[in-house]
Every structure is written in structure tokens, then in C-alpha cells.
Amino acid sequence: MPLLQVVDVDCRYGQDTVVHNASLHVRKGGFVSLLGPSGCGKTTILRAIAGFEPVHRGEIRLRGETVAAPGHSVPPERRRLGMVFQDYTLFPHLDVASNITFGLRDRSAAEQQRTAHSLLELVGLAGYAARYPHELSGGQQQRVALARAIAPGPDLLLMDEPFSSLDTDMRERLGIEVRQILAERDVTGILVTHDQLEAFASSEQVGVMHDGRILQWDSPYNLYHEPANRTVADFIGQGRFLRGSLLAPNALETEIGLIRGDRAYGWPRGTTVDVLVRPDDVLPDEASELRCAITNKAFKGAEILYTLKLPTGTELLSLFPSHHEHQVGDSVGVRLAPRHLVLFRADRAS
Amino acid sequence: MIDTALHPARIERTADADTLRISGAWITASLVDLEPQLAAIEAGPNTLEAADLIALDTGGALALRSLLDRLRDGRGEVVVQGLREEYRELLALVDARLSDFVCPLPEKGPGTLERIGRTSFDLVDDVVGLFAFIGEISATLLVTLRHPVRLRWREIVDTLHTAGVNALPIIGLLSFLIGIVIAYQGGVQLRTYGANIFVVELVSLTLVRELAPVMAAVIVAGRTGSAYAAQIGTMQVNEEVDALRTLGISPLEMLVLPKLFGLMIALPLLTMFADVLGIFGGMVMAAAVLDVSFQQFFARLPEVVSARHFLIGIGKAPVFALLIAAVGCYQGFRVRGDADSVGRQTTVSVVQGIFLVIVVDAAFSILFSWMGI
């Protein structure tokens, strides 16, 4: 039985429905993310799971027990779950050790001290027990908040954009660390974020949300390579669409010629389709007849992201290995090698 | 500058029923003249003769656009003849930008009746919410009383200090002054009848039964009730309350009960202090203006102030304390979103606190007179 089941849940603020028909299952010990732009309802789902928002339709089951349904809600303090907030929310008048043991007031002093000690070691802050929150950096405060949240021993930890106030480097590192820490304690994690790299780096499953709906619930690999619809394809990773016409179930004619893929689509021959072209599908090939002008260039260290303009005016993105150094305005030869053929019908919205 | 009197903007019919002629300066200044002419135009003509147009600005172009729209009115195109090239360009520009100029009408606010209705609903919501909150506190209280160890005694002592001890100077000073005022204002009247000695009853009974409990409560509502609302409100904004709850701690138990207990102990003590200082003020005034010496005052005091009066006054204090703490905390928990809301709910907590104290005091008066005490 999954640890957490969210079944057909709607949430409302006043008359506005901000979450539509959300369903998700999380197994014990898993680590999943809800990913989406701000205002898409991901935080609302998380707060409904925590018990801060009522559900308007559907139900939420935790450990097999219904904790939320219309007109029924188990208060957050009785759901036995931990939560980490965006702004750390440490108690400012308490030192680090007291913050961590705050949820352990019923235990003996010796046990509290032991827990604080071992958790501080776990989050890499041994020796900081007597510091106060304002004496710590953002990353350190968030580690303390994490330790505080898992101190009472919850089996589910909710994280609401926990790393968004940290710099990019720290964000990814802490994301992976958190997953290890949770795995070590057998705690299930749900992360809410707008940063796809953060979600991809840490999660086994990611739900992409848009306008209050979960559009696709899948592994990061599938989200990137096999998006279920155009919105997901647009939001995840970078990429551009090329218009074309279906010739065979696995081939289409585009402005740059024939593209053949490994996947078959059952639409009639001649259907107008858009093919998704990811930056890693466009490879440099000086021998190629297809030549494009470089209109933009972004150095990314190991790779360079070029924006290319096809002779017909359509733009493509391409990741070249770092030593393929060209200037904006240069003409380069490229070859299209889509690993998966991801097509959407041009005459349908999704 | 074009003189609109010399070149009036005109829309004229021609001999041909299918053709209209426009002439003069179609500029913003001439819109006043154009409006009635435009209103009189009906669909029909399909040709517009514009050779006599001598000026056109964006205002005029808009008028021209609406003229064309009127002529079209669901039929085919209207041919515009003789329009100069630069005017044609301006007209095209206005056409292209027209959609940007659409400004929505301000939404009509709700009517008086609707506002009264909404306000009433909000009020009922607030009252029901407060009662529900007091109910929740009571339920938590029962649970906590079974495990008194879980009560946060340190916080209670802290509340006694901040809400009680720190309020002594202000409450003492104000009671003293009130004692003086009552003794003086009432004493002057008593002196006319030579009944100076009755100032003892006047000062001690009004203070002990009514003024000291109410005044202490009003000051505490302003000082402490607002502080509770602000403290809990700020925690609410910072998500600290949410953090508490996910740690398995009930905010009622953690934040509200210690404040409630602390205040229910502090306010009766403050009331007693106000009694003493107020009567002392009355005594000073009586000695100074009414020739009632301290000895006389003291001798009479136990005769007129029985334990019953004293207990009635003190007995009201815990009820007031309960109301003030409940309203303060309740408004704190109602804070949503930003710091603005903290300020708003804090104000509301003071107003409601004072209001409730006075209403409940009146209710007590009625109850006591009905019971004959």
C-alpha cells in the first residue's frame, strides 16, 4: 500500500479552484517532486497534504487512513509528518539544538541531547549546537530546519521550495544530500519546486503541474524525452518545434528534409505535425549540407548552447561540445539526430 | 493652429444618395461639432468623398473610423475617395492601435444593501469564529489539565511578568488619578449638603465594584491583547505557526494556554492594585478639599466596603482576562499573508477586546442587580 494517496483532489480559495483533480501516489521511502511555474497550485497540494488547506473534492489518505476529505480534516499536528519551509522558519529566540529538539518536548533531556547531536552530525553541522539562527548562513539554516523536521521521526517529509533562496550550486548539492539523508532514515520525501534541475537531480518521479493540473507524472528521463503533451514539452528542458508532414508512421517530411525516428504514430499519412527538437538532438557536422546561422551563443562550461537559424527562418537550439567554438553570425553545418521521435498533431492543442 | 471656425468639420449628403462628403478640419477641437453629426448618420451610403478634408489628427481619425463603422454596419466595404495619402496612413495606424485603447469601465461597486449584507455576514462569521475558538481552547484546556506537566510554566511566569508586573506603573498612576477625579467631582456635590464623609462610599464602591476592574481590563486589552495578536500574527506570517503544527505541537497548547493562564492570574492582581491606588487617590483628595482626614477615611472604609463588593469586583477580572486573551490570540490566528494584515488584526483585537469587556461588565451589572447583590 502506498504511504500517501491523493485521489481526485480539488482545492479552492474562495470561488477559485486552484487545484483540479489532482491524484498522486507515493510509495514508502520514495522521493518525488512537484514541478511547475509559480502559481500552478503545487504549494497548495503540499499544504493540503500537510493539513493547512481543506480539500473541496476527493480525498487524501496517509498510511491508509483518510486524513482529508470534504468536511473532514485531521489537523496537521496529528498527521505525523515533517515539513520544511521556504524561509526556514527557525525559532529565532532558540539556539540550534533547542530548535532541533523542539518537537521532542515529551522526551527526556538526555534523549533530546542525543538526537540533536546525531542529527547535527547527519546534516553536517556538528559543533553548531549553541549557535543562534541569525548567526548561520541560509544553507546552514535550512539544514537545521531539515534536522528539526525529521527529529520527531516522521515517515513523510514535505518540502516547500526549500532551496529557492540558495545559490544554484548549493541548491543542487543540498538537494542530493537531502535525498541521501532521507534515504538513510527511511523517510519519504515530497519536494515542491519550480527548478527542474533540482527536481531531476533528486527525484525518482516528478509531477509536472500547470494551471492547477498535474499534466504528467513520470520519471525525469521520460518527462524530458517522452513528454505527454506540448505544455510539458515546452516547460521541461529547452527545445523548439519543427512543422512537418507525416509520411509514414515513423517518418516525416520537414523543411530540413526527411526525419526518421524510432517510434510509430498511428495518424493518417499527410497529417501536419510538430516534431520536438531538443538541443542535444542537433549535432555539429561540417560535412552536412544543412547549414545554419548562429544567432546567439551561451557558454555553459562543458558545452555551448547555440541558437541556430535555419535558412527558412525557423530557430533551433543546439548543444555543441565546448571546443566547437564559433562566433555569432558564423554559418555551421548540423545534422539532426532525434533519438526519440516526439510528435504532436499541429491541429490539436495538446 | 487650424481655426475650426474657418474650417468646420462637416458631414454632408450629396445629390447621389450613395455618397457622403466630409470636409473641413477633423481635429480634436472639432469633435464637439462632429458628435451630433455622427449620431445622425445612418447606414446606406457606400462611398465617402474625402477630397475636401483639410486636416486630420488622431482624434479626427477616430471619428472617421466610427463614421465608417456606422456606414458599414454589417454591409459591404465603404469606398473612401480622395483621402490624401498621409491621412490614409494615419487612419491605418489608428485602426491598428485601436484595440490597445480599449479601457475597461470601472466595475460597479456593490450596492448599499449588498454591503450591509456582506458586513453582517462577516460580523456573524467573526462572532461564530470567536466562540468556536473559545470552544477549542476549552477542549485543549481539559486535555492539558489532565497532564499539567505539559503546561508551559515558564511561559506563564513570563506572561505574569510582562502583562502583570510591567503594567503596574501605568495602572497604578491612572487609578490614582481616577480616584482623585471621582473624589473631587463627587465631593463638591456632597459638600453642598454637608455630607462630606460619604465621599468614602463614593470613591471606594465605584472603584472596587466597577471602575478598577474595567479600567485595568481596558488597559490590559490595549497593552497585552494587542501584543498577543501581533506576536501570533507575526508567527503566522513567518509560517512559524505552521512549522509548530508539523512538529506535532498544537499552537493552542503552546501559544494560547500560557497566555490565557498568565493573564487570568495577572488581571485580578492588577485589579486589586488599582483598587488600592484609586482609593488612595480619593483619600488624598478627600483630605485636601473635603476635610475628611485619613483616619476618618480608614475608619469608615471597612464599614462600607464589604468582602462581597470586593469579591464582585475581583471576580469579574478573570472573565475579562479570558475575553482579552481569547480575542487577542484569535485575531492573531486570523492574520493572512502579509505584515499589513498583522497591523489590521491587532487593531481589531484592541477594539473588540475593549468592546467585549464593557458589554460583559454591563451584563454582570444586570445579573447582579437581578440576583440582588
A78 by DSSP, 3-state: which? Answer: helix
Measure Cα distances from B89 to B20, B56, B57, B92, B97 in Å: 21, 11, 11, 5, 12
Residues A68 and A50: their CA atoms lie apart, in Å, by: 10
Q: What's B74's domain CATH number?
A: 3.30.750.24
B330 by DSSP, 3-state: which? Answer: helix
What domain count does chain B have?
A: 2
Rounded percentage of chain B residues whose pLDDT exceeds 90:
55
Measure Cα distances from A48 to A8, A38, B128, B137, B368 in Å: 13, 17, 24, 24, 49
Sheet with A57-62, strands from edge to edge, namely A16-26, A4-13, A57-62, A65-69, A72-73
pLDDT score of A268 = 83
B1 falls within a domain = no
pLDDT score of A349 = 57
Over residues A188-200, mean pLDDT: 89
Is the Cβ pair B245, A51 closer than 8 Å?
Answer: yes
Quick check: B364 pLDDT over 90?
Answer: yes
Q: Which three cell numbers stand for residue A214?
A: 498535474
B205 falls within a domain = yes
- Contact A162/B at CB under 8 A: no
Is the Cβ pair A89, B243 closer than 8 Å?
Answer: yes
Nearest to A166 by CA among A145, A141, A202: A141
Quick check: A34 pLDDT over 90?
Answer: yes
pTM of the full structure: 0.74
Element (H, E) at A283: strand A282-284
B228 and B341 share a domain? yes
- Contact B153/A at CB under 8 A: no
B61 and B206 share a domain? no
B84 and B195 share a domain? no
Q: How confident is the model at residue B143 (pLDDT cuts 50, 70, 90)?
A: confident
- Contact A165/B at CB under 8 A: no
Q: Which of A143-157, A292-306, B10-24 has the lowest mean pLDDT?
A: B10-24
Q: Is the Cβ–Cβ distance between A220 and A33 less than 8 Å?
A: no
Quick check: B373 pLDDT over 80?
Answer: no
pLDDT score of B102 = 66
Quick check: B361 pLDDT over 60?
Answer: yes
- For residue B244, list chain A residues with Cβ-Cβ distance below 8 A: 77
Residues B313 and A152: their CA atoms lie apart, in Å, by: 47
Element (H, E) at B79: strand B79-81
Over residues B175-183, mean pLDDT: 95
B252 and B153 share a domain? yes
Q: Which three cell numbers stand for residue B333?
A: 490566528
A215 by DSSP, 3-state: which? Answer: strand
Q: What are the tens digits of pLDDT across the range B320-333? A: 999 999 999 999 99
pLDDT score of B182 = 94
- Contact A98/B at CB under 8 A: no
Quick check: A350 pLDDT over 60?
Answer: no
Q: Do the strands A31-35 and A16-26 form a parallel or antiparallel pair, or are they unpaired?
A: unpaired
Residues B231 and A30: their CA atoms lie apart, in Å, by: 38
Residues A127 and A110: their CA atoms lie apart, in Å, by: 17
Q: How confident is the model at residue B75 (pLDDT cuts 50, 70, 90)?
A: low
Q: What are the tens digits of pLDDT across the range A108-140? A: 889 899 989 988 988 888 889 899 999 998 888
Q: Is the Cβ–Cβ distance between A199 and A41 less than 8 Å?
A: no
Closest residue to A76, CB basis, from B238, B240, B246: B246
pLDDT score of B93 = 84
- Domain end among B40, B72, B101: B101
Residues A72 and A74: their CA atoms lie apart, in Å, by: 7
B133 falls within a domain = no
Residue tagged 477542549 (cell numbers)? B139
B150 and B74 share a domain? no
B138 falls within a domain = no
- Domain end among B70, B101, B132: B101
Is the Cβ pair B239, A85 closer than 8 Å?
Answer: yes
Closest residue to B247, CB basis, from A52, A87, A152: A152
The phi and psi torsions of B215 (rounded to 5 degrees) equal -65, -45
**A50: closest chain B residue by CA:** B246
Q: What are the tens digits of pLDDT across the range B196-235? A: 899 999 999 999 999 999 999 999 999 999 999 999 999 9
**B249: closest chain A residue by CA:** A77
Quick check: B342 pLDDT over 90?
Answer: yes
Angle, helix A138-150 to helix A168-185, in steps of 10 degrees = 20
- Domain end among B101, B121, B156: B101
pLDDT score of B80 = 82
Element (H, E) at A244: strand A240-248
- Half-sphere exposure of B297 toward its Cβ, with a 13 Å CA cutoff? 21
B48 falls within a domain = yes
Rounded to the nearest angstrom, the minimum Cα separation between A54 and chain B is: 14
Quick check: B1 pLDDT over 70?
Answer: no
Q: Is the Cβ–Cβ distance between A214 and A207 less than 8 Å?
A: yes
Q: What are the tens digits of pLDDT across the range A204-221? A: 999 999 999 999 999 998
pLDDT score of B18 = 78
Residue tagged 486630420 (cell numbers)? B56
Element (H, E) at A304: strand A303-309
Q: Is the Cβ–Cβ distance between A187 and A26 less than 8 Å?
A: no
Is the Cβ pair A85, B242 closer than 8 Å?
Answer: yes
Q: How confident is the model at residue B45 (pLDDT cuts 50, 70, 90)?
A: confident
Topology of the domain comprising A4-233: Rossmann fold (3.40.50)
Nearest to A264 by CA among A152, A340, A161: A340
Q: What are the tens digits of pLDDT across the range B221-280? A: 999 999 999 999 999 998 899 999 998 888 998 899 999 999 999 999 999 999 999 999
Q: Which of A308-312, B21-25, B98-102 has the lowest mean pLDDT?
A: B98-102
B110 falls within a domain = no
Sheet with B47-56, strands from edge to edge, namely B10-13, B19-26, B47-56, B79-81
Give the rounded distance of the alpha carbon of A305 from its chain centre.
22
Q: Do the strands A331-336 and A291-299 form a parallel or antiparallel pair, or are they unpaired?
A: antiparallel
Is the Cβ pair A148, B247 closer than 8 Å?
Answer: yes
The phi and psi torsions of A187 (rounded to 5 degrees) equal -105, 135
* Mean pLDDT rounded to a whole number for chain A: 87
Q: How confident is the model at residue B74 (pLDDT cuts 50, 70, 90)?
A: low
Is the Cβ pair A152, B245 closer than 8 Å?
Answer: no
Nearest to A141 by CA among A197, A82, A182, A85: A85
Residues A158 and A83: their CA atoms lie apart, in Å, by: 5
Quick check: A252 pLDDT over 70?
Answer: yes
The DSSP secondary-structure symbol of B104 reads: P
B135 falls within a domain = no
B221 and B284 share a domain? yes
Count of beta carbons in the 10 Å neighbourhood of residue A294? 19
Residues A184 and A156: their CA atoms lie apart, in Å, by: 13
Closest residue to B240, CB basis, from A76, A89, A105: A89
Q: How confident is the model at residue B11 (pLDDT cuts 50, 70, 90)?
A: confident
Q: How confident is the model at residue A240 (pLDDT cuts 50, 70, 90)?
A: confident
Rounded to the nearest angstrom, the minimum Cα separation between B251 and chain A is: 9
Q: Residue B361 belongs to what domain range?
A: 144-371
Quick check: A162 pLDDT over 80?
Answer: yes
**B234: closest chain A residue by CA:** A89
The DSSP secondary-structure symbol of A339 reads: S
- For residue B133, list chain A residues with Cβ-Cβ distance below 8 A: none
B139 falls within a domain = no
Give the CA diameter of chain A. Answer: 76
